[in-house]
Amino acid sequence: MKLLQLKNIDLYYDGIHALKDLSIEVKKGEIVTLIGANGAGKTSTLRAISGLHPIKNGTITYNGKDLKKIPANKIVSLGLSHVPEGRKIFANLTVYENLLLGAYLRKDKKEIQEDLIKVYEKFPRLKERLKQQAGTLSGGEQQMLAIGRALMNRPDMLILDEPSMGLAPLVVKEIFDIIKEINKSGTTILLVEQNANMALSIADTAYVLETGKIVLSGTAKEIANNDSVRSAYLGE
């Protein structure tokens, strides 16, 4: 079942044609990754899905609903959570306050507490630092907090933009193990990632973007074994 479908998307930034006739789909339960160089249009694609940047042409359908007609603050309520590039945590608030903000649309207080416990189980370090200001956390802990906050929305689909950015290799492995665990628990994942090796190692499906266009798509294994991809993105 197609959970998310982008069809013939055109998006402009200040007159620049950032996405050009772009089409992708994400099936329920999958991990799908978008790879490409800086400026290829990966973040623009995610911002279009989340309603943070309007598209000029094309359609974006999530769970049968036309997202083009829904404002960004309402898209979250459909079960779509976005962990943005750079984490965008609230540095002056505590870890606990950041997590609660992820559930701001919810009224089910008992279930919110149950979900907090699940986040603590996934990220024990966050539980140890609940009263600590989020801005004092390490980069890896801030990324865990950003993911934990998104999970507090109980999403059917989690969009992750560069979760490994600026993190040490051991922390990157830990973050990717958690992403796999979240997916196994039933959450669909759309992942944008500079670390193409890591992204392709956990994904089911992959798309390669160049200057706003999809130039290659297939299973993650097929993309990882493609000679041009290996040369351009995998350092081989």
Cα pseudo-dihedral 31, 193, 46, 55, rounded to 10: -120
Amino acid in position 28: K
Cα dihedral sign, 64-67-68-70? positive
CB–CB of 6/190 below 8 Å?
no
Tens-binned pLDDT, residue by residue, of the chain (236 aa): 899 999 999 999 888 999 999 999 999 999 999 999 888 999 999 999 999 999 999 999 999 999 988 998 899 999 999 999 878 899 999 999 999 999 988 889 999 999 999 999 999 999 999 999 999 999 999 999 999 999 999 999 999 999 998 888 999 999 999 999 999 999 999 999 988 999 999 999 999 999 999 999 999 999 999 998 898 887 65
Domains of the chain: 2-89+159-233 (3.40.50.300)
Rounded to whole angstroms, how far apart are CA atoms 54 and 223? 30
Classified as helix, coil or strand, 230 is helix
Distances (CA, A) of 194 to 35, 39, 158, 179: 7, 11, 18, 16
